[in-house]
Amino acid sequence: MAHSPIGLLHLISALLAVITGSMVLLNAKGGVFHKRAGYVYVASMVVLNGTALMIYRLFGTFGSFHILAVFSSVSILGGMVPAVFRHRVRDWLIWHYYFMNWSVVGLYAAFWAETFTRTLPMGQFWPIVVVATSITTAIGGYLIRKNAVRFEPLSKLK
Task: Determine the pLDDT at residue 1.
Answer: 44
138 to each of 1, 73, 106, how far by Cα in Å?
29, 21, 11
Q: What is the pTM of this model?
A: 0.85
∠ CA 127-133-138 to the nearest 5 degrees? 125
For residues 27 and 68, give the distance between their C-alpha atoms in angstroms, rounded to a whole number: 27
Q: What confidence score (pLDDT) does residue 59 get? A: 63
Count Cα neighbours of 126 within 13 Å in the Cβ-side half-sphere. 4
Whole-angstrom distance, CA of residue 132 vs CA of residue 36: 30
SS (H, E, C) the chain: CCCCHHHHHHHHHHHHHHHHHHHHHHCCCCCHHHHHHHHHHHHHHHHHHHHHCCCCCCCCCCCHHHHHHHHHHHHHHHHHHHHHCCCCCCCHHHHHHHHHHHHHHHHHHHHHHHHHHHHCCCCCHHHHHHHHHHHHHHHHHHHHHHHHHHCCCHHHHC
Q: Which residues of the chain have pLDDT under 50?
A: 1-2, 155, 157-158
Helix axes 32-52, 64-84, angle to 10 degrees: 150
Structural domain boundaries enclosing 62: 5-157
How many domains does the structure of the chain reveal?
A: 1
Cα radius of gyration (the chain):
17
Q: Would you state the pLDDT for residue 151? A: 80
